[in-house]
Amino acid sequence: MSTRGGGVEQSLAEEKERKREKILALAWALFIRPSLLSPVRALLSPRRWYRLLRSLASRALSRFRKHPADNTVERNYGAWNEYSWPEDGDEWSIDWGSRVAQWYGCLHPRIADWLPAGSVLEIAPGHGRWSEFLIQASGRYRGVDLAPNCVEFCRKRFAAAKNAEFFIGDGMSLPMIESGSCDFVFSFDSLVHVGLDILKSYLSEVLRVLKDGGVAFIHHSNAGEHFAGAGNVPGWRGRDVTAELAAECIEQCGGFVWVQEKVNWENSDALDCFTTFGKRKCGNPARFDNELFMLEAMLIRTRINRYHTLEM
């Protein structure tokens, strides 16, 4: 990550030092004190153990990459169109043990009331980390991504899915999606990287394309609540976005917030937010902080994930 201002180099150095200490601690546990991880080793085959270590290393090294300061369309285009996608996005599911465990243990319980759906739209699918599940749960699936390389990859990956289409977007709007045509709109682990102006544009567009009884589940930044002003923002989150500003935008566009869940993401602060909303008013909307989100991830990884890693 990088920021504009006088303390850029110092902030980057401090960030690198913190990450280096974490990597050294991991190396110490893995190689100097291997007995500490013997229970974990017993659960994994050599092949899965190798994949786990490779994913951990990939994620650790990616943290040193200097993210652009601005969460603009241009910066996001460059970041994700040029990203190597070593595990096709699954590298970001390591805290849950696997992509499958994260879907069924973390995401699906939050959106199960609206799936399966007739028409599903996914914003910024990347390499299709969640698209597989959404395609199976929809009569018609459409994915829109800013990065041409991602769209090309998904078109090949899901070529056999006759109900799926992928489009290149402009990073701000959804002109290829008809108004009032979507039952469910989904975006996870993508729009956290956009600034408030982009998020507002998307929220307005989402309300346009939703059917009257449709619902949207959008994962976005809440970093503005904790990191206003200069300095590094963990995970290259949109620094000017908050849950309250997102809710305000939805209401200004004629929508209604049903649920807002602020979550801690690899951090003690509620860095992110899941906002569920629609065109209809909800009688008992819920807004709450979930400080146990990463504990939830750990439990999924150490319990539920065991069911998804069996080698038959």
User: Cα separation of 237 and 221, whole Å?
Assistant: 6
Q: Is the pLDDT of residue 164 over 70?
A: yes
Contact 294, 95 (CB under 8 A): yes
Residue-range domains of the chain with CATH: 1-66 (no CATH), 94-308 (3.40.50.150)
pLDDT in tens, 31-86: 444 444 444 444 445 555 555 555 555 445 444 444 445 899 999 999 999 999 99
* pLDDT at 82 (0 to 100): 94
Q: Is the pLDDT of residue 6 over 80?
A: no
* pLDDT at 56 (0 to 100): 54
251 CB-side CA count, 13 A? 9
Q: What is the average pLDDT across 209-230?
A: 91
Higher pLDDT, 264 or 44: 264
Report the sign of the C-alpha dihedral through residues 184, 301, 99, 272, in that order: positive
Q: What's the whole-model pTM score?
A: 0.79
User: Cα separation of 270 and 88, whole Å?
Assistant: 27
Q: Is the previous residue joined to 116 through a cis bond, with omega within 30 degrees of 0?
A: yes
Contact 264, 294 (CB under 8 A): yes
pLDDT in tens, 169-210: 999 999 999 999 999 999 999 999 999 999 999 999 999 999
